[in-house]
Amino acid sequence: MAKYIFYLCPMRIDIITAVPELLQSPFEFSIVKRAQEKGFAEIIVHNLRDFALNKYGQIDDYQFGGGAGMVLMIEPIDKCISQLMEQRNYDEIIYVTPDAQVLNQKTANTLSLKENIIILTGHYKGVDQRVRDKFITMEISIGDYVLSGGELAAAVVVDSIVRLIPGVLGDEQSALTDSFQDGLLSPPVYTRPAEYKGIKVPEILLSGNTPKIEEWRQEMAEIRTKAIRPDLI
Ligand code: ADE
């Protein structure tokens, strides 16, 4: 009888940062930690200063034409990305920056099916535009506000992707019921006790009538979405 052996090939995510300390804990807990332990994902953080220009650890400089803020230089980034690209082919080289398309569930779904990605994080005033022109295949913002650096944005992008890698979430946590997966916000959820200080859980949820419960959840999701995020409808 034929035997099929499936080898699990983890999704590889390389993150390039000038402040690796900021990315120490986000991947060491909860679902992302488990995804790594189970071999679904491999997340490697690279310190851009290992590719610095000189012994002073220089990775940035003043911008041409004047203006406040330092700009990450092309050379250290080129060295780091080129070294990574010698080892494997990358599906996407992502730069997280506020001046980009905002991350949504559709993008997270698409990225969760990739094999190898690099995420470059900016700091200070950003990166030399030539980095974006030469290496970057995709740019992502996590919202219309400016963070001090791209590290927290990278952590958000990684978390949103890794939990969607097929197999990472069990049935009981299925990502299919997340907010946004069907274009709507999630309905409200309740747990025990069924009554707390006179505040009751909606009767329908205790009825055991699954089709009716599903109907109620759908209705609640629509009401919530209309009230909070009408732009999604
Ligand atoms: N870097 C700084 N702010 C950011 C944002 N809103 N999204 C992605 N990267 C960023």
Phi/psi at 46 (nearest 5 deg)? -110, 135
Residue 185 reports pLDDT greater than 90: yes
Atom of ligand 1 nearest to the CA of 148: 2
Q: Is the CB of 142 under 6 A from ligand 1?
A: yes
Predicted confidence at residue 1, as pLDDT, reads 54
Q: Is the CB of 17 under 6 A from ligand 1?
A: no
The tens digit of pLDDT for each residue in 133-176 reads: 999 999 999 999 999 999 999 999 999 999 999 889 986 567 77
Predicted confidence at residue 178, as pLDDT, reads 81
Q: State the distance from the centre of ligand 1 to the C-alpha of 194, rounded, in angstroms.
A: 42
CATH 3.90.45.10 fits 177-232, yes or no: no
For range 184-194, the mean pLDDT: 96
CA distance 36 to 14: 13
Q: Where are the domains of the chain?
A: 2-162, 177-232
68-72, 120-124, 184-188 — which is least confidently predicted?
A: 120-124
The tens digit of pLDDT for each residue in 9-53 reads: 899 999 999 999 999 999 999 999 999 999 999 999 999 999 999
Q: Is the CB of 97 under 6 A from ligand 1?
A: yes
DSSP H stretches of helix in the chain? 30-37, 74-87, 105-111, 129-134, 151-162, 210-228
CA distance 118 to 92: 6
Q: Is the CB of 94 under 6 A from ligand 1?
A: no
Residue 127 reports pLDDT greater than 90: yes
Q: State the distance from the centre of ligand 1 to the C-alpha of 170, rounded, in angstroms.
A: 31
pTM for the full model? 0.93
Predicted confidence at residue 15, as pLDDT, reads 98
**C-alpha dihedral sign at 193, 198, 201, 203:** positive
Fold of 2-162: Alpha/beta knot (3.40.1280)
Q: State the distance from the centre of ligand 1 to the C-alpha of 23, rounded, in angstroms.
A: 15
The tens digit of pLDDT for each residue in 80-89 reads: 999 999 999 9
Pairing, β 116-121 against β 92-102: parallel
Q: Is the CB of 168 under 6 A from ligand 1?
A: no
Q: Is the CB of 141 under 6 A from ligand 1?
A: yes
Name beta bridge partners: 62: 70
Q: Is the CB of 146 under 6 A from ligand 1?
A: yes
Q: State the distance from the centre of ligand 1 to the C-alpha of 121, rounded, in angstroms.
A: 9
Work out the pLDDT band at 124, boundaries 50, 70, 90.
confident
Indicate the average pLDDT of the chain: 94
Predicted confidence at residue 182, as pLDDT, reads 84
Q: How far apart are the first and last CA of the chain?
A: 52
Q: Which of 181, 24, 106, 117 is nearest to 173 (CA)?
A: 181
Q: State the distance from the centre of ligand 1 to the C-alpha of 42, rounded, in angstroms.
A: 23
Predicted confidence at residue 118, as pLDDT, reads 99
Structural contact between residues 93 and 37, judged by C-beta atoms closer than 8 angstroms: no
